[in-house]
């Protein structure tokens, strides 16, 4: 995040706009809406600015800019379009420690103005960091269509009752939940529909009702975060994150997903890697229960799907035995997400009639699996947590009859920007992984569905080798 998002209080404060054409007029409209007292410095101005000056809504001084104009201003905007003048305004403002924006010159600006959705007092700013202002405007247009026209009316109504709610509900968590229920409930609907008198009467009953002061029980949501790409997070998972008081997250959950949580939620890293656990499973279970029994909403955030090699079933059982309300929110599991991102189907008509998820990790090293049934062919094997035991898995499958030439694809950091796909034959899997030096989380796909990927890699390797040969010289 290059720019820190903030809202300036310019009410009745002087602000300087240097320039008098349409770009300056656009900025002035915003300043006037914010209650500022603008000073415009420009030898000449457009008709709109002249009319505003005549009406007494701003002060216009018909002259060139002088550095002394900056004194006492809350912020400065340069909109002359003249490179030398705009640069001089920027230098003077930044030298005086006054925020400055130079229109269409982010390199000269200490702040930028976002695309704005105005439902006063609700204001939403959307910024692309000055890289793509058209994109920011398109996002604004989409959000405008989603937001009620009278959203500001609802915010003002809630503001009028803030003191009364605070007086009745002393606990901060209970107060926040009261407001969550309010904004999602029928009283808010009445306000948005224009029935403020009915809403006021209902609100008084809501504040004075017993339910307003009754502490809610805590709960746990065991949430699958998917294989890594934040766009694969489900809507329900996103809602639970934004409602959570506490988020316990795993090693495979990226920071961009954790950042979807409420900003004031407690975030606790509980990641586990092979022989390296931040907390044991028993400690994680106890921590979830402790927070839930204290009345908090807990999200247990796991990579992939919590019920596929995620120990979600153990956590569910632990919490239910203690009478804690628990919900499971499924996620896109690694096999489905990574295979799709790599363009490898898990099933294929006439080739792979089934897919089996297996783990390459076991408490004592080698996984205890029914190798004979896994080696029958005409199915796809998706191996989770199998990098360290890939050679053993390959050897056991070949010993039980799976062909040595069976294609394999290993997908590291699947669905993420740094995704990498390495292919091999089954009999060369261990040595190929050693050459590739994979270190990130990886899914291994074994079966004929990976043949196209393997052949494409072989063809690319042959092409690279041919390109490296010396070219024949005709004589």
Question: Which residues are designated catalytic?
Answer: 250, 272
| Strand ranges in 335-466 using DSSP code E only, listed in sequence order | 355-359, 380-384, 407-412, 420-425, 442-446
What's the rounded Cα separation, in Å, for the pair 121 and 24? 24
What's the rounded Cα separation, in Å, for the pair 67 and 90? 10
Within 8 A by CB and 6+ apart from 330, the residues are 224, 234, 305, 306, 307
- Rg for the chain (alpha carbons), in Å? 31
Count Cβ atoms within 10 A of the Cβ of residue 111 and give its class: 0-12 exposed, 13-18 middle, 19 or more buried.
middle
Three-state DSSP class for 278?
Answer: coil
What's the rounded Cα separation, in Å, for the pair 365 and 361? 6
What's the rounded Cα separation, in Å, for the pair 151 and 36? 24
Report the candidate in 255, 259, 226 with the shortest Cα–Cα distance to residue 241: 259
**72, HSE (Cβ side, Cα atoms, 13 Å):** 9
Tokens representing 168 are 């009745």
How many CB atoms are closer than 10 A to CB 268? 16
Give me the helices (H) in 5-150, please: 22-33, 47-54, 83-95, 133-146
What's the rounded Cα separation, in Å, for the pair 13 and 36? 5
Helix H or strand E encompassing 315: helix 312-321
What's the rounded Cα separation, in Å, for the pair 423 and 434? 12
What's the rounded Cα separation, in Å, for the pair 318 and 184? 32
What's the rounded Cα separation, in Å, for the pair 316 and 320? 6
What's the rounded Cα separation, in Å, for the pair 192 and 317? 43
DSSP 174-236: HHHHHHHHHHTSHHHHHHHTT-HHHHHHHHHHHHHSHHHHSPPPPEEEEEE-BSS-GGGS-HH
Backbone angles phi, psi at 31, to 5 degrees: -60, -40
């Amino acid at each position: 995040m290059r720019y820190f998002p903030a809202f300036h209080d310019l009410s009745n404060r002087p602000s300087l706009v240097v320039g008098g054409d349409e770009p300056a007029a656009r900025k002035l409209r915003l300043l006037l809406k914010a209650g500022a007292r603008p000073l415009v410095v420009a030898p000449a101005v457009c008709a709109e600015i002249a009319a505003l000056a005549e009406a007494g809504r701003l002060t216009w001084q018909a002259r060139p800019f002088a550095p002394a104009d900056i004194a006492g201003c809350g912020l400065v905007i340069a909109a002359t379009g003249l490179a030398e003048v705009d640069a001089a305004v920027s230098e003077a403002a930044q030298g005086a420690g006054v925020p400055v924006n130079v229109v269409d010159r982010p390199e000269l600006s200490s702040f930028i103005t976002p695309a704005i959705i105005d439902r006063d007092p609700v204001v939403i700013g959307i910024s692309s960091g000055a890289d793509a202002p058209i994109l920011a405007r398109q996002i604004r247009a989409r959000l405008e269509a989603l937001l009620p026209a009278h959203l500001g009316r609802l915010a003002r109504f809630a503001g009028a009752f803030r003191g009364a709610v605070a007086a009745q509900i002393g606990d901060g968590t209970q107060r926040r939940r009261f407001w969550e229920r309010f904004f999602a409930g029928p009283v808010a609907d009445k306000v948005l529909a224009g029935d403020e008198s009915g809403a006021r009467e209902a609100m008084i009953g809501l504040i004075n009702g017993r339910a307003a002061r009754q502490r809610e029980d805590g709960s746990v949501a065991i949430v699958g975060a998917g294989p890594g790409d934040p766009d694969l997070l489900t809507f329900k998972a996103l809602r639970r994150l934004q409602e959570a008081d506490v988020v316990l997250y795993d090693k495979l959950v990226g920071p961009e997903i954790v950042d979807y949580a409420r900003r004031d939620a407690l975030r606790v890293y509980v990641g586990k890697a092979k022989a390296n656990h931040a907390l044991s499973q028993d400690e994680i279970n106890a921590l979830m229960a402790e927070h839930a029994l204290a009345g908090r909403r807990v999200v247990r955030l796991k990579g992939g799907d919590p019920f596929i090699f995620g120990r979600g079933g153990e956590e569910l059982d632990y919490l239910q035995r203690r009478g804690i309300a628990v919900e499971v929110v499924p996620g896109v599991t690694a096999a489905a997400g990574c295979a799709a991102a790599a363009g490898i189907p898990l099933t294929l008509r006439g080739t792979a009639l089934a897919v089996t998820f297996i783990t390459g990790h076991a408490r004592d090293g080698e996984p205890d699996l029914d190798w004979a049934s896994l080696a029958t062919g005409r199915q796809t094997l998706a191996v989770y947590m199998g990098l360290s035991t890939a050679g053993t898995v390959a050897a056991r499958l070949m010993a039980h009859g799976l062909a040595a030439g069976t294609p394999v694809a290993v997908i590291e950091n699947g669905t993420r920007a740094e995704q990498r796909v390495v292919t091999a034959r089954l009999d060369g899997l261990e040595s190929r992984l050693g050459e590739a030096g994979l270190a990130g989380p990886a899914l291994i796909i074994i079966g004929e569905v990976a043949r196209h990927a393997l052949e494409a890699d072989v063809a690319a390797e042959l092409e690279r080798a041919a390109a490296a040969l010396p070219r024949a010289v005709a004589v």
